[in-house]
Amino acid sequence: MAVVVTPAWSKQPWSLPFLVVLSTAPAFSVLKGKRHKTIAMWASQMISLMHRWLPDRDIVVLGDGAYNCLALGLQATKRSVTLITPGQLDHAFHDPLLPAEHRPKGGKPRIVGKRQPNLDQVLVDPSTQWQENEVQWYGQGIRVIQWCSGTAWWHRAKLPPLPIRWVLVRDPSGKYEPNVLVCSNPNWQALLIIATYMKRWSLEGTFEEARAHLGIQTQRQWSDLAIERTTPLRLVYLQFGDVDGNPSGCSRADRRRAGRLVSQICCHLS
């Protein structure tokens, strides 16, 4: 898990890792005779821990498709954390439950209202009202997109419903596949959801740097214990640097810029 910081002098957000959890494959869990925990389960624990550390802070968690899980969304909402993840075109979204006086009598009590059309139907429906904007897109610069949005209750069997806002994004040129974003806070505006989720791209850059320069996936240890000890530290190395107090190769302006960077990050985290 990383905190996304955009220094005042930079246009690009930075992802700074601060919490690392190692997850095992299902086959490894079976081999060890342990109950397997999915990525979403680990993320739920990390969200709970982060909320305990910062109970009065507004927290927004961005994840890829592995975190598009109703149970995780419910856990995040319980902790007053906003979760934004990619969604699927065939998600089962419903209208809110009607007031008691308008519900049909008899039968099994309903938990949610009428099912909404699947988003793949919304995508091809001629009556869908699309809006067009220019946005920063996944580190690729400005891109023109078309989007539509709505609110719904996300529901699956044996779990309570979760109020969400979905955003369906398409490329007007037809070059790129459509995307769905799901936000656990239905009060968020669609463009804010899109702009916020685009910041997640900085985390991909952090992982790539860790692979290329820190050997995050190419460590030479074969001992499980050694891997457990060193892998989290490799990501944490991105948080630290050893800078000479008076480096001969740096000008006074360079040192001032470095100082402003540290100050901006500290202000963001405080």
Phi and psi, residue 94, nearest 5° = -130, 160
- Nearest Cα neighbor of 70 from 188, 165, 182, 154 is 154
What's this model's pTM, rounded to 2 decimal places? 0.78
Report the DSSP beta bridge partners of residue 20: none
Instruction: Return d(Cα 87, Cα 180) in angstroms, integer.
Output: 5
Instruction: Return d(Cα 37, Cα 23) in angstroms, integer.
Output: 8
pLDDT band of 207, cuts 50, 70, 90: low
pLDDT of residue 245: 46
- pLDDT, tens digit, 9 for 90 and up, residues 107-143: 677 788 899 999 999 999 999 999 999 998 876 788 8
3-state DSSP helix/strand/coil percent for the chain, to nearest 5? Answer: 35, 20, 45
Instruction: Return d(Cα 95, Cα 89) in angstroms, integer.
Output: 17
- The H or E element containing residue 93 is strand 93-94
Domains of the chain: 2-98+111-241+248-269 (3.90.350)
Among the ranges given (29-33, 65-69, 229-233), the one the predictor scored with the smallest mean pLDDT: 229-233
| Residues 111 and 161 sit within 8 Å (Cβ to Cβ) | yes
Residue tagged 């769905």 (tokens): 180
Distance of CA 25 to the CA centre of its chain: 21
Instruction: Return d(Cα 59, Cα 73) in angstroms, integer.
Output: 13
pLDDT band of 165, cuts 50, 70, 90: very high
